[in-house]
Amino acid sequence: MIVITGATGHIGNNVVRLLMEREIPFKVLLRRDGKELKGLDIEKHIGDLYSTDFYNEHINAGDTIIHLAGYIDLANKDYNQSYQANYIMTKTIADICLEKQARLVYSSTTDILSHGDDGEYYIETDLEKIKYNYPKTKTMATIYIKELQKKGLNALILYPTSVIGINDYKGSQAGKEIVKAAKKTFLPYVRGGYDFVDVIDVANAIIDGALSDINDDIILSGNYYTLKELYKLIGKLTGKRKLMILVPRWLAKAGTRMLKGFSPMMIDVVANSKEFNDPKTALLLKEQTPIKATFKNIINEARARIKNWLE
């Protein structure tokens, strides 16, 4: 049986829909039900996602747990929630998987990966060097799983880049920024960019990984765009000319104090991000949706949802 946490999230609800489409049995473990799964005839179990007893009740030998639940603290203001949701919850699940000989598919993030001088990627193990709550606690969780792999845990660790696409009910930060950019004419930007990957491609990769016997680390990357390239593309898709101005990184970070929805962490992520080229990506992302089609789907979905779109 496939058991899913984080099923109401952007990746999670798309994983659920694809499992239904592919007629693969599964159940979801939820803190609460929500609109993201409304109308879907699926097996749901509501409980305390920090409770060992809850997981012991629903995880059995031979199961595969797809662990997607977590907390992205973009404002970097709640270390305790980040620690509990990203590290303690993951540790609890991983311990039970090892004990019961269940398989674990864990969604980490490329935000914890650094590029070495030799072109290899590595995880910074000195936590004091990581100043933001989200990458710090995701690093802790990822390192813990890697240690349990040495003790016999059957685990696949996946590192998605910026996941965008349809059924973004909660509004991922990347999805929000694409919609905002589509609606605006004047767009300040900083040097840097990000790698974007379609949520359906990621969801299918997670399912394929769950059904495989791969016990490894794999980056799920798509297409890298600088912010300037991204805004130009969005302008073409909307037919609306964009006026862009380069803003120094220090000024952009200072401006986040006055702009709701932005944070210094977001500026640093964009400024420091580089293109990923992991040969193992092709093991799970065999075919990728053209990212232009993904952007178009996001804009069309938002246009259908928002009244007076672009008026």
- The answer to which of 61-70, 144-153, 195-204, 264-273 has the lowest mean pLDDT is 264-273
Q: How many whole angstroms separate alpha carbon 30 and alpha carbon 290?
A: 32
The amino acid that residue 25 corresponds to is P
State whether the Cα torsion 195-200-201-204 is positive or negative.
positive
67 belongs to a structural domain: yes
Q: Which two tokens stand for residue 148?
A: 């349990």
Q: What was the pLDDT predicted at 249?
A: 80
Q: What was the pLDDT predicted at 257?
A: 63
203 belongs to a structural domain: yes
State whether the Cα torsion 59-69-225-18 is positive or negative.
positive
Q: What was the pLDDT predicted at 309?
A: 44
256 belongs to a structural domain: no
The CATH number for 81's domain is 3.40.50.720
Confidence of residue 274 (pLDDT cuts 50, 70, 90): confident
86 belongs to a structural domain: yes
What tens digit of pLDDT does each residue of 129-187 get? 999 999 999 999 999 999 999 999 999 999 999 999 999 988 888 888 888 888 888 88
Q: Is the pLDDT of residue 246 over 60?
A: yes
Confidence of residue 306 (pLDDT cuts 50, 70, 90): low
257 belongs to a structural domain: no
Q: What was the pLDDT predicted at 256?
A: 65
Class of residue 245 by CB neighbours under 10 A (exposed 0-12, middle 13-18, buried 19+): exposed
In this structure, the chain runs to a length of 311
Q: Which of 27-41, 140-154, 247-261, 273-287 has the highest mean pLDDT?
A: 140-154
Q: Is the pLDDT of residue 54 over 70?
A: yes
Q: How many whole angstroms separate alpha carbon 201 and alpha carbon 169?
A: 18
Q: What is the DSSP string of 235-273?
A: HHHHT---EEEE--HHHHHHHTTTSTT--HHHHHHHHH-
Q: What was the pLDDT predicted at 260?
A: 58
104 belongs to a structural domain: yes
188 belongs to a structural domain: no
Q: What was the pLDDT predicted at 272?
A: 76
* Total structural domains within the chain: 1
Q: How many whole angstroms separate alpha carbon 87 and alpha carbon 107?
A: 12
199 belongs to a structural domain: yes
User: Which residue, 213, 206, 108, 211, is CA-closest to 154?
Assistant: 213
Domain that holds residue 113: 2-164+195-222+275-286
